Chains A and B, each alone.
Chain A
Amino acid sequence: AQKITQTQPGMFVQEKEAVTLDCTYDTSDQSYGLFWYKQPSSGEMIFLIYQGSYDEQNATEGRYSLNFQKARKSANLVISASQLGDSAMYFCAMREALRRDTDKLIFGTGTRLQVFP
C-alpha cells in the first residue's frame, strides 16, 4: 500500500498568490514525522518544513506552512505569496520506524509547481 500520496502531478499558480500542495499518508505508528522538500531543476533536495505527529500546532517556516490534519491523515503544504523561484518539484515524505535504532524517509511521487508572472 502506498504510504505517501500526492495526487497533484502538476500545479500552476500566479506570482504573489497562495498555493496548497496536497499530501496524504498512511501509517499505524503513533509517532511519526512529516517532511516537505523542494527539488529545483538542479536536482538538490532542499528541506522546507517538518511536522511531528504529536505537535499540536501547524508548523510554519517563513512563507511555508503545513496544514496538518491528523484525523484525516493529511499534511498539505501551503506556500503564501508565491515567487517565480518557487517553481520546482515538491516532495512530501514521512518518517516511520524501520528498526529500533533508525528510521527512513518514505517519499511521495511529487508535485511539479510552476509559478507564472
Chain B
Amino acid sequence: SAVISQKPSRDICQRGTSLTIQCQVDSQVTMMFWYRQQPGQSLTLIATANQGSEATYESGFVIDKFPISRPNLTFSTLTVSNMSPEDSSIYLCSVEQGQGPYNEQFFGPGTRLTVL
C-alpha cells in the first residue's frame, strides 16, 4: 500500500492567515484527493487533483479558498486561505492504488488545524 505523509501534522493559526499543507506519497499516483473532516463529523471531499491539470472542486468548495497544487505524481499541496474558526478541521490527503474499478484508497495521517 502507498505510504503517505503530511506536513504539518497539526497547527494553530490566527484568523485571516493562510496555511499550506503538504502531501507526499512514496509512489507515483495519478489521482490525489483532499478531504476535510470537521469536528465530530464525517469526511467530505474538497477536490480531486490530477498532475498537470487544474484541480476539480466539489460543491461548496472554491479555488480561491482552497488552492491546490499538483506539480508531480508524488506531491500535492492544499492551502487554506483567509482562515476563520469554521475552518478548524482535520485535512486529509488520499490516493488511489490499483487497476480497474476496484482501486483501494489510502489516506495520509491528516493535518489537524485549529483556527483561533
Chain A interface (Cβ within 8 Å of chain B)? 31, 33, 35, 37, 42-47, 50, 52, 91, 93, 95, 98-99, 102, 104-105, 107-110
Contact = CB atoms under 8 A, between A and B. Distances in A.
8 contacts: A37-B107, A42-B109, A52-B101, A105-B43, A105-B94, A105-B105, A109-B41, A110-B42
Contact of B48 (A91, A93, A102, A109): A102
A111 to B, nearest CB: 11
The 9 lowest CB-CB distance pairs between A and B, nearest first, are A45-B107, A43-B110, A107-B42, A44-B109, A107-B43, A52-B102, A43-B90, A109-B42, A104-B45
Nearest to B98: A50
B99 interface: no
Contacts of A105: 33, 43, 45, 94, 105
Interface size class of B (residues with CB under 8 A): 20 to 34
Given A43-B109, A44-B110, A102-B48, A91 B43 contact: yes
Interface in B61-110: 90, 92, 94, 101-110
A84 to B, nearest CB: 22
Contact of B101 (A31, A43, A108): A31
Given A43-B90, A102-B31, A35 B43 contact: no
Interface centre among A105, A108, A110 (most CB of B within 10 A): A105
A107 B92 CA distance: 14
Interface string B29-52: 001010001000111110010000
B10 to A, nearest CB: 9
Contacts of B104: 47, 50
Interface centre among A31, A44, A46, A98 (most CB of B within 10 A): A44
B90 to A, nearest CB: 5
A52 B100 CA distance: 11
Contacts of A95: 103, 105
